[in-house]
Amino acid sequence: MQRRGLLVILSSPSGAGKSTLSRRLMAWDPTLKFSVSATTRAPRPGEVDGREYYFRSRAEFEDMVAAGEMLEHAEVFGNFYGSPKGPVVAAMEAGRDTLFDIDWQGGQQIRNSVLGRDVVSIFILPPSIAELERRLTTRAQDAPEVIAARMEKSLAEISHWAEYDYVLVNSDLDAAEQELRTILTAERMRRDRQPWLNEFVRGLNREFEAR
Amino acid sequence: MQRRGLLVILSSPSGAGKSTLSRRLMAWDPTLKFSVSATTRAPRPGEVDGREYYFRSRAEFEDMVAAGEMLEHAEVFGNFYGSPKGPVVAAMEAGRDTLFDIDWQGGQQIRNSVLGRDVVSIFILPPSIAELERRLTTRAQDAPEVIAARMEKSLAEISHWAEYDYVLVNSDLDAAEQELRTILTAERMRRDRQPWLNEFVRGLNREFEAR
């Protein structure tokens, strides 16, 4: 009997290394399925529907929510974002873990959903605000006020750190990746995630009786 | 601020490799404290009071129980066994994890005690009954009926596997040791076991305000 797949939630302020760590985790374990979010925002140049996001109209998005097809959804800066439920349930039933790169609002909703007991949630903190600001500034050629708004949003995100099962400080990417691997390996080993044990112990009992 | 130490409980039928794995885990992490049990049974040749066991008279043992100094205790084959609470609480407060090599009765009592939320419990299964019997027979030059009684006791112990957080099948000592290390490393990383994070996040907030 196969185990149910886990819902692995990674959250962090923008610039704390979550996307890089997600990619590394996917490279380490190709059985991990990445949850592609749906959004009502317009695609940016180079973004492909179904790869970066599922790009949907507002009406389509609202229909999905009404039909119960969203595991979580929220409005951020005037656009809707959400995690479609179908692929996640399919992965769980196939014994594959799904990786979510989502914010605290999404994490909170999934943790409090009926799938909550299969959630492993991990928050990634930056080593310092100076480092966070440096990463946010380096990666975008944006105006200071845009950076400032992102920093405010980062701090709001950080305020939810204590809702997560695990919290890492990403001072070193290799160390943080190793920590993520350890968490995932151990969580998969939990007894209630190893349904084959039932049959294994029945086998021991049969072997004992048959001696 | 230091984290509270964990109570790491290893249980298994006799012959499944629990003692060997305990020793290996202690060698891997010298900060682990081994919980030496108290017992009313007589010392065997070579056994030292305070090393293998705290050897106590029945009256002394009952006084400890009455004074609430036992974390758990049980009667096995006419003798009392128990885990003194004092050293465990001292270790917890010093941020050190305690390793318990105890049976399901002790595990159940500690899990259901006020210290239960700091418990990580691991059950070790043998790969097969034949292998368990082989190990039990090799290590003791005992009469067949003694072996048979031990096998019955082993099966009773195995029946409690589903009460544990983690369950390992010890087919290979190195692999089982690695699994124990992974479990312990991940459990120590849980957010509620990292009290320094509170101060760390306060520091990020202060740094943000001071920019």
Q: For B147-176, how does the pLDDT look when each residue is reduced to its tens digit (9 = 90+)?
A: 888 899 999 999 999 999 999 999 999 999
DSSP symbols for chain B: -PPPPPEEEEE--TTSSHHHHHHHHHHH-TT-EE-PPEESSPPPTT--BTTTBEE--HHHHHHHHHTT-EEEEEEETTEEEEEEHHHHHHHHHTT--EEEE--HHHHHHHHTSTTGGGEEEEEEE-S-HHHHHHHHHHH----HHHHHHHHHHHHHHHTTGGGSSEEEE-SSHHHHHHHHHHHHHHHHHBGGG-THHHHHHHHHHHHHHH-
Across residues B51-78, what is the average pLDDT?
94
Is the model's pLDDT at B77 over the cut of 90?
A: no
pLDDT digits (tens, 9 = 90+) for A48-74: 999 999 999 999 999 999 999 999 999
Output the pTM of the full model. 0.90
CA dihedral B152, B180, A116, A97 (to 10 degrees): -110
Is the model's pLDDT at B15 over the cut of 90?
A: no
Is the model's pLDDT at A197 over the cut of 80?
A: yes
Query: In chain B, whose CA is at the least distance from the CA of A126?
Result: B204
**Domains of chain B: residue spans and CATH:** 7-34+97-210 (3.40.50.300)
Q: Within a 10 A sphere around the Cβ of B190, how many other Cβ atoms?
A: 17
Please report residues of A whose CB lies closer than 8 A to that of B186: 166, 182-183, 185-187
pLDDT digits (tens, 9 = 90+) for A109-149: 999 998 998 999 999 999 999 999 998 887 657 788 888 88
Interchain proximity B205–A125, CB inside 8 Å: no
B200 has a chain A CB within 8 A of its CB: yes
Phi/psi at A174 (nearest 5 deg)? -60, -45
Interchain proximity B161–A201, CB inside 8 Å: yes
For residue B45, which amino acid is it?
Answer: P
Sheet arrangement for strand B38-39? B54-55, B38-39, B79-84, B70-76
Query: What is the band of B76 on the pLDDT scale with cuts at 50, 70, 90?
Result: confident
Query: What is the band of A164 on the pLDDT scale with cuts at 50, 70, 90?
Result: very high
pLDDT at B140: 58
pLDDT at B182: 98
Interchain proximity B155–A208, CB inside 8 Å: yes
By percentage, how much of chain B surpasses pLDDT 90?
Answer: 84
The C-alpha angle with vertex B29 and arms to B27 and B30, in degrees rounded to 5, equals 75
Per the document, the length of chain B is 211
Per the document, the length of chain A is 211
The C-alpha atoms of residue A202 and residue B34 are separated, in whole angstroms, by: 32
B185 has a chain A CB within 8 A of its CB: yes
- Closest Cα in chain A, distance from residue B177 (Å): 13
The C-alpha atoms of residue B97 and residue B82 are separated, in whole angstroms, by: 18
Query: What is the band of B99 on the pLDDT scale with cuts at 50, 70, 90?
Result: very high
Using a 10 angstrom Cβ sphere, with 0-12 exposed, 13-18 middle and 19 or more buried, the burial of residue A81 is buried
Structure token digits, residue A44: 């940016």
- CA dihedral for A22, A26, A29, A34, sign (positive or negative): positive
The C-alpha atoms of residue B211 and residue B204 are separated, in whole angstroms, by: 11
B125 has a chain A CB within 8 A of its CB: yes
A169 has a chain B CB within 8 A of its CB: yes
Structure token digits, residue A82: 């959400």
pLDDT at A1: 62
- Closest Cα in chain B, distance from residue A15 (Å): 14
CA dihedral B153, B154, B159, B160 (to 10 degrees): 90
Contact A53, A38 (CB under 8 A): yes
Structure token digits, residue A170: 């990403």
Please report residues of A whose CB lies closer than 8 A to that of B197: 125, 161-162, 167
Structure token digits, residue B130: 């034949």
Contact B136, B15 (CB under 8 A): yes
Interchain proximity B186–A191, CB inside 8 Å: no
B123 has a chain A CB within 8 A of its CB: yes
pLDDT at A21: 96
SS3 at position A18: helix
- Closest Cα in chain A, distance from residue B126 (Å): 9
Task: From A50, A161, A20, A183, select the one nearest B182 (Cα to Cα).
Answer: A183
Across residues B41-45, what is the average pLDDT?
95
Is the model's pLDDT at B1 over the cut of 70?
A: no
pLDDT at B189: 94
pLDDT at B139: 63
The C-alpha atoms of residue B184 and residue B97 are separated, in whole angstroms, by: 10
A128 has a chain B CB within 8 A of its CB: yes
